[in-house]
């Protein structure tokens, strides 16, 4: 009863916020609604008993991907008038694309049927006595380890590609080489002063304590202000 109520609540909020993602005027609000959508999807995973997937969804999508997304969208200087300008012109093309997609979806769902053993899996997704984190791990790292590694490799290639495309070898930038700085000697010295001793007693950075202060006093005698009090 409570689970069903929670399901309908999360599902309703999910659909409402997903609609808000595409209809909201401000792109930053769109991203924030997208985050709300992710959250509700995670809650639905939790209700389905897939707590590992729920947490990974929050960590990866909400905690990392959406942050970077928000980061970029906030920095964009978007002219809302210019965005809406071509709406009339592009509406027919958009309509055609949308209709094709809808048709495809209808075709897919029209011939949809459950696999013969799906009902059994649905009732008992993980073997008895194994939590779903462990069950997922077994499937991904034992049964499908090569596919899993391959998908990781594809992502790596994509990342290297992005870096290669955007990295320009700048010759004008100055770089800090921390190792060289630390290894440098001569101009900067490291000293270990005695604990509790004043600077005067150690004899660094100041003239000795017994140096006469007389001439300095005379030089500043005619000043009406200053920090030598």
Work out how close the CB of 74 gets to another protein at its nearest, in angstroms, rounded to a whole number.
5
- The string of DSSP letters for 42-84 reads HHHHHHTT-HHHHHHIIIIIIIIIHHHHHHHHHH----HHHHH
Q: Which is nearer to another protein, 8 or 90 (CB)?
A: 8
Name residues whose C-beta falls within 8 Å of residue 7's C-beta, 6 or more positions apart in sequence: 44, 47
Least CB distance to another protein at residue 182 (A) = 13
Residue 75 CB, nearest approach to another protein (Å): 7
Question: Which of 28, 157 has the CB closer to another protein?
Answer: 28
d(CA 66, CA 42): 14
| CB nearer to another protein: pick between 71 and 90 | 71
Q: How far is the CB of 126 from another protein (least distance, A)?
A: 11
CA of 3: how far to CAs of 44, 48, 55, 56, 132, in Å?
A: 10, 10, 19, 22, 19
Are 41 and 21 spatial neighbours (Cβ–Cβ below 8 Å)? no
* Interacting residues with another protein (CB under 8 A): 2, 28, 32, 35, 51-52, 55-56, 58-59, 62-64, 67-68, 70-71, 74-75, 131, 133-134, 176, 178
* Residue closer to another protein, measured from CB, 11 or 135: 135
């Amino acid at each position: 009863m409570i689970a069903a109520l929670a399901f309908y609540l999360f599902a309703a909020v999910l659909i409402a916020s997903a609609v808000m993602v595409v209809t909201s005027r401000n792109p930053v609000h769109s991203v924030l609604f997208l985050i709300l959508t992710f959250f509700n999807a995670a809650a639905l995973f939790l209700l389905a008993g897939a707590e590992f997937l729920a947490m990974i969804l929050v960590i990866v999508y909400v905690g990392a991907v959406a942050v970077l997304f928000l980061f970029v969208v906030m920095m964009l200087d978007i002219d809302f008038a210019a965005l809406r300008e071509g709406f009339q012109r592009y509406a027919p093309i958009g309509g055609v694309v949308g209709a094709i997609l809808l048709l495809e979806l209808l075709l897919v769902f029209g011939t949809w049927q459950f696999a013969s053993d799906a009902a059994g899996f649905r009732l008992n997704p993980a073997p008895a006595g194994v939590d779903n984190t462990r069950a997922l791990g077994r499937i991904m790292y034992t049964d499908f380890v090569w596919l899993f590694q391959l998908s990781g490799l594809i992502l790596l290639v994509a990342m290297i590609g992005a870096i290669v495309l955007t990295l320009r070898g700048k010759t004008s930038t100055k770089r800090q080489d921390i190792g060289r700085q630390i290894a440098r000697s001569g101009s900067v010295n490291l000293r270990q002063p005695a604990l509790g001793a004043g600077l005067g007693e150690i004899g660094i950075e100041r003239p000795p304590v017994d140096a006469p202060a007389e001439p300095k006093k005379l030089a500043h005698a005619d000043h009406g202000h200053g920090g030598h009090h």
